[in-house]
Amino acid sequence: MKSFIPREVETLWTLFTAPTVWALHFVVCYAAVAIFCAKGLAEEITFGTLRFALGVFTLLALAMIVLSAYLAWRQWGFGSGDPPHDAATREDRKYFQGFATLLLSGLSFVAVVYAAIPLIFIAECQR
């Protein structure tokens, strides 16, 4: 059986995975709510439904970030070495990338949770 976990790739772009997930989550939440409130969709779907949908989406985003964190952890050699990773070797460059990506995944996780808090506490558009 093929593993669903992607193979290790060497590119600069993986560094940005988790923050990109944050950005997508943020834009979707903002756009969904903006359209819901501006177009007065409350008669067709309730705010509760919207909240639920965005809640599910939030969990998906968090799962993506956790996956990105796992991949970063793997790239970091599962924490086998300590920073600063400043040796002039391919190995240390990889560990550095892994560690920095892991840190960014952590920040993105927190930022997604932050963005989801309003969905818990605010129950209508409130203009």
Partner 1 sequence: MTPELGNFSAEERAAQEERLRKVWETPKGLRYWTSVNNSEIGLWYGVTAFAFMLFAGLLGLLMRLQLAVPNNDLISADLFNQAFTLHGTVMMFLFAVPIFEAIAIFLLPSMLGARELPFPRLSAFGFWSFLIGGIFVCGSIFFNAAPNAGWFMYPPLATDKEYSGIGADIWLLGLSFIEVASIAAAVEIIVGIMKCRAPGMRINLMPMFAWYLLIVAGMILFAFPPLIAGDILFEMERMFDWPFFDAKRGGDPLLWQHLFWIFGHPEVYIIFLPAIALMAMIVPTFSQRPIVGYSWIVLAAVGTGFLSFGLWVHHMFATGLPQISLAFFSAASEAVAIPTGVQIFVFIATMLAGRVIFSVPMLFGAGGVIIFVVGGLTGVMVALVPFDWQAHDTYFVVAHLHYVLIGGMLFPVVAGIYYYFPFVRGKKLSDAWGKVAFWLMFSGFNIAFFPMHFSGLRGMPRRVFTYPEGIGWDWFNLVSTIGAFIFASGVAIVVTDILRPKPKPTARNLNPWNSGTLEWTNDPDESWGMRSVPVITSRYPLWDQPNLQRDIEAGRFYLPDAKSGKRETLVTSVLDADPIQCLRVGGVSYVTIIAALALGGVFIALTFHWWITTIVCAIITFVAIVVWLWTGTAPIPEEPEIDVGLGLKLPIYVSGPASVGWWAMFITMVGDGTAFASLIFGYFFYWTIHADFTAAAQGPGILWPMIALALFVVAWALTVLARELNEKGPVGARLALVAGFVVTVAASLAGLAGPYFHAMDPTANVYPATVWILAIWTVTHGAVGAIMHLYCLARSFAGRMTAEYDQDIRNVTLYWHFMAVTAVTTFGVIGLFPMVIE
Q: Which two tokens stand for residue 6?
A: 């992607």
Task: Tell me the closest approach of the beta carbon of residue 127 to partner 1, in angstroms.
Answer: 5
- Furthest-apart CA atoms within the chain: distance in Å: 62
Verify binding: residue 29, partner 1, rule CB under 8 A.
Answer: yes
Verify binding: residue 8, partner 1, rule CB under 8 A.
Answer: no
Sequence-ordered alpha helix ranges (H) in the chain: 17-38, 47-75, 90-121
Give the chain's end-to-end CA distance (angstroms, integer): 53
Q: Which of residues 7 and 90 has its CB atom nearest to partner 1 in the complex?
A: 90
What are the CA-CA distances from residue 114 to residues 48, 50, 56 (Å)? Answer: 19, 18, 15
Which residues of the shown chain bind partner 1 in the complex (CB under 8 A)? Answer: 10-12, 15-16, 19-20, 22-23, 26, 29-30, 33-35, 37-39, 83-86, 88, 90, 92-93, 95-97, 99-100, 103-104, 107-108, 110-111, 114-115, 117-119, 121-122, 124-127
